[in-house]
C-alpha cells in the first residue's frame, strides 16, 4: 500500500474510494466504480473531471491522446482498475500516464480485489520528484 499519505487531496480521494468499495464490494465492471467514485467525490467537494482526454507528448510534439479515468483538482490523475490483483504492468501504465501528461504523481486504485488496493505512482522525470529515492 502507500507508505505515507503526503497530502490531503490524496487522502481524500483514497477515503472516497474506500467508501465506494465498502458499499459496492468487488465484482463490478470498472465503469460502475468510476460512476460511484465520481458521486462520492462530488459529495466531498473534490473538484474532478471524469474521462478527461489528455494530450500525450514526445519531445514537445503531440503524438496522441489518452483518456484518464479522473483528473482531480487539476493536480493528479487517478487511474481505476477492477481486476483481481494489480501487477507491475498496471503500475508502469499509471507511471507512464503521469510522465506523458507531465504530472508529478497520480493514484492507481483497484476495486476488483476483496480489499481495496491503492498505490501512489510517481513521474520520476518530473522536476518535483528529482530527489526521490525509488
What is the distance between the alpha carbons of residues 7 and 112, in angstroms, rounded to a whole number? 25
Give which of 102, 131, 134, 130 is closest to 119, Cα–Cα: 134
What is the distance between the alpha carbons of residues 54 and 38, in angstroms, rounded to a whole number? 18
> Using one digit for the tens of pLDDT, what is the confidence trace for 73-105?
988 999 999 999 998 999 888 888 888 777 888
Domain 8-129: CATH architecture, name and number where available: 3-Layer(aba) Sandwich (3.40)
The helix/strand/coil state of 7 is coil
Contact of 94 with 120, CB cutoff 8 Å: no
Q: What is the dihedral of CA 60, 50, 119, 40, to 10 degrees?
A: 150
pTM beyond cutoff 0.75: yes
Output the pLDDT for position 44: 97
Output the pLDDT for position 132: 55
Contact of 108 with 97, CB cutoff 8 Å: no
Instruction: Look up residue 17 and give its three cell numbers.
Output: 474510494
Amino acid at each position: 500500500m502507500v507508505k505515507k499519505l503526503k497530502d490531503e487531496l490524496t487522502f481524500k480521494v483514497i477515503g472516497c474510494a474506500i467508501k465506494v468499495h465498502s458499499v459496492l464490494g468487488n465484482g463490478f465492471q470498472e465503469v460502475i466504480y468510476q460512476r460511484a467514485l465520481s458521486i462520492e467525490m462530488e459529495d466531498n467537494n473534490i473538484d474532478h473531471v471524469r474521462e478527461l482526454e489528455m494530450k500525450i507528448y514526445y519531445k514537445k510534439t503531440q503524438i496522441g491522446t489518452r483518456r484518464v479515468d479522473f483528473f482531480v483538482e487539476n493536480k493528479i490523475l487517478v487511474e481505476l482498475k477492477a481486476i483481481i490483483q494489480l501487477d507491475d504492468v498496471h503500475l508502469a501504465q499509471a507511471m507512464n500516464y503521469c510522465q506523458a501528461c507531465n504530472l508529478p504523481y497520480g493514484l492507481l486504485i483497484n476495486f476488483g480485489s476483496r480489499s481495496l488496493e491503492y498505490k501512489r505512482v510517481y513521474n520520476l522525470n518530473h522536476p518535483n520528484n528529482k530527489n526521490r529515492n525509488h
